Amino acid sequence: MPNSQGVICSQEDTSFRAASNKATGLYGSLLEVIPQPAAFLDSSGAIVAVNKAFGSFLGLGSGDSIGKRFSDFLSRETLRRCQPALKAAFNGTPSEIIGKLVSASGGDLGGKAVCTPIILQDEASAVVLFQFDGSPGESERLRIDDLLTRFPDDVLIFGALDEAASIHARLEDAAGGSIDPAELCLMLENCLNGDVQTLYTGLNRQKNACEPGPAAKITEIRLVPLAEPSNQDRPGVMAIVRGNVDSPHEVEEYRRLAYQDALTGLSNRRAFLAFLQEHLARLEDNPLGGLAVFYFDLDEFKKVNDLGGHDAGDEMLVRVAFALQRCFCDIGCVGRIGGDEFAGMCLLPDEGHALDHAERVLDALSRIRLEVSNRIFTIGSSIGISFLTSQAVDRSIDPSALLRLADAACLRGKRIGGRTVHLHKAEAGDFLLDSAVPVKVIEPDDIRANDFELYSMPIRFLQEDRPCGDEILLRLRGEKGSGFSPRVLISAAERSGYVAQIEGWTLDKVLDAAAARGTKTILTVNVSAESAGNPDFLDILQKRLRDNPLLASRICLEVAEKDFLREPTTIESFFRFLIDLGGQTAIDDFAGHWPVLARLTDLQVDWIKLDASLTQQVTRDRAKALVLKGLTDAAHDLGIKVIAKHVETEREMTLLRALGIEAAQGYFFGKPVPWM
């Protein structure tokens, strides 16, 4: 564990070998496909695994750094910068180090590094992924004529050889207040070394913050270097004295309260709309391209609050804000609009670039993991985009109207289940009063029991090229279900509190069909966390399967990975209950979260169904194929079989078979059709 001097320490950690084995075993393939120099560090600061880029970056052999302290390879100043970020990462918070990084031998290591927490099966073996990423930026020097324009008050010139006591006396006389001599000496030294310095007098005379009325004024002194310290023949420092200014602390606090969201530190709605107005003005001067406004509404955020508590909800919002800030910081800006809703904006060439950027945001959000006690929460978002071209821009456009268009597009995504991106190309008519068409969102009272019907989708063994079984899907019947995804149906049922009854009805139908079919193929059914812990649902299972092991062997009940992460105790208990009855189990929409695999080591899960993000584009992305191969091998080592979803082409099917994946489903094998 870390010592009192920080995360990076010299003490050997007794869990090093265990952490090393887990890091290299579970994460080895992932580490090698990272293009940046990267390494895994354990809690003692020891290096437990590296990729090839890391060794060449530091001028080392492939295994020369394993087992050594990371601090041995950094300069003292770089080590000081890295310690807080690593400490935060070992506490579960992703962090960045910005600024010039230098090796122990004086080599340039760039200007940015990223620390990502990687949680293994137990806390003692936690590791952090450390990546060097980027080059140091050039800082801009403040121009003296700019200073004179901003501070046209008393100006005093001091030579580089003037005594500090003389400077102190003249400045106190000009400022009309006392100045700490030690503080002034330090600032003068920094100024002669080339840095602009600012000090204030009269801070101790301010009125009590609890007293009513305007705040007291103070005096500001700006010290500006005029020549290099070695040039003694010319004046060295210019002091600009400006009286009757507001306290910088109070000004900053007023600005924060007026324009900054207190929880996340992002711009609030007021500030965001002001920035949006500026971007609209910039768009008028840009004949090519357009302005994209993004609206983000987090999916299933309420469950984070309900299951993890409001502190967990606040922490999730902070992590979402951090992820969004990273996505927009170089190209635009982002703000928190309120609650679990955020917005972003940037100038982009066309709608295609806007959609691509939204997909990158979804990917960034999908990597967020928040661990609370024994639960791990993930998050997603529905995204609406309003895209305004430079040809359509007009000075009369209200920024809030553009934001409302993005909100409406976001609601269309919510209507079909969330985790989607919808884009609306804004036109002049969109900004007329009352032009917006309300979007219908399904409500719990809109559906009844007789509105349901079941569909089936084939699952096929890849290696043997034969039927494996069918997934049974719940749908809304007829026009009522048009445009609504299964996710929104389940979401509405969860809000109304009768999801267990719906899934119990589905299970009864599936068990009747399985008993009548008499085949060896399996029928898979999705089960929510609410049903997994519902006594009535469990009673149906026990009554139907307790004395019929053959029927039980034909049933596979699958739980979404996000539900397993959020309620591991409930899901593990449910799986053991089903296994005891002879049924099969599966983790659905598995997105590669290693904590899930780690928790499955002691639980006999039969299948994992891969999320589409792991299989899409695998034929065109060799790195993704390598990661998928490592993930499949890790599952096989745990005795778990793998099903790929959303397979649409023969080429995808051939590659997935070559990677050793047992089974697959998707439009290539057959679309969902009415069942029974």
Distance from the Cα of residue 293 to its chain's centroid: 19
Span 329-367, pLDDT tens digits: 888 899 999 889 999 999 898 898 999 999 999 989 988
Backbone phi and psi for residue 227, each to the nearest 5 degrees, phi listed first: -155, 165
CA distance 411 to 438: 9
CA distance 128 to 92: 9
Higher pLDDT among residues 413 and 330, named by residue: 330
Span 228-266, pLDDT tens digits: 444 445 457 888 888 777 776 666 666 666 778 889 989
Note the CATH number of domain 448-674: 3.20.20.450
Nearest Cα neighbor of 508 from 529, 531, 485 is 531
User: CA dist 441 to 413, 425, 436, Å?
Assistant: 10, 22, 15
Please give, one letter per residue, the 3-state secondary structure of 327-355: HHCCCEEEEEEECCEEEEEEEECCHHHHH
pLDDT level of residue 459 (50, 70, 90 thresholds) = very high
308 contacts 338 by C-beta, under 8 angstroms: no
Span 67-123, pLDDT tens digits: 888 888 889 888 888 888 888 888 777 788 888 888 888 888 888 888 888 765 444
Strands annotated E in 365-521:
370-372, 375-377, 380-389, 421-425, 452-461, 466-476
User: What token pair was written down for 177?
Assistant: 């207040």
- Three-state SS for 586? strand
73 contacts 65 by C-beta, under 8 angstroms: yes
User: CA dist 327 to 90, 133, 346, Å?
Assistant: 23, 15, 11
Is the sign of the CA dihedral 182, 183, 188, 191 positive or negative? Answer: positive
407 contacts 426 by C-beta, under 8 angstroms: no
Q: What is the mean pLDDT of residues 660-675?
A: 91
The number of CA neighbours under 13 Å toward the Cβ of 108 is: 8
DSSP state of 431: G
228 contacts 194 by C-beta, under 8 angstroms: yes
- Three-state SS for 483? coil
pTM of the model: 0.52
Sorted by where each begins, the domain ranges of the chain are 16-132, 144-252, 264-431, 448-674
Amino acid of residue 139: S
CATH superfamily of 16-132: PAS domain (3.30.450.20)
219 contacts 242 by C-beta, under 8 angstroms: yes
CA distance 438 to 431: 15
User: CA dist 618 to 115, 298, 421, 627, Å?
Assistant: 27, 28, 21, 10
528 contacts 499 by C-beta, under 8 angstroms: yes
Higher pLDDT among residues 627 and 232, named by residue: 627
pLDDT level of residue 298 (50, 70, 90 thresholds) = very high
278 contacts 285 by C-beta, under 8 angstroms: no
Backbone phi and psi for residue 615, each to the nearest 5 degrees, phi listed first: -110, -25
**Comparing 126-140, 392-406, 430-444, which segment has the lowest mean pLDDT?**
430-444
User: What token pair was written down for 372?
Assistant: 């609370």
pLDDT at 20: 52
DSSP state of 350: S
Note the CATH number of domain 264-431: 3.30.70.270
CA distance 427 to 436: 12
CA distance 605 to 587: 8
Strands across the sheet containing 112-118: 47-50, 38-42, 127-132, 112-118, 95-98
223 contacts 213 by C-beta, under 8 angstroms: no
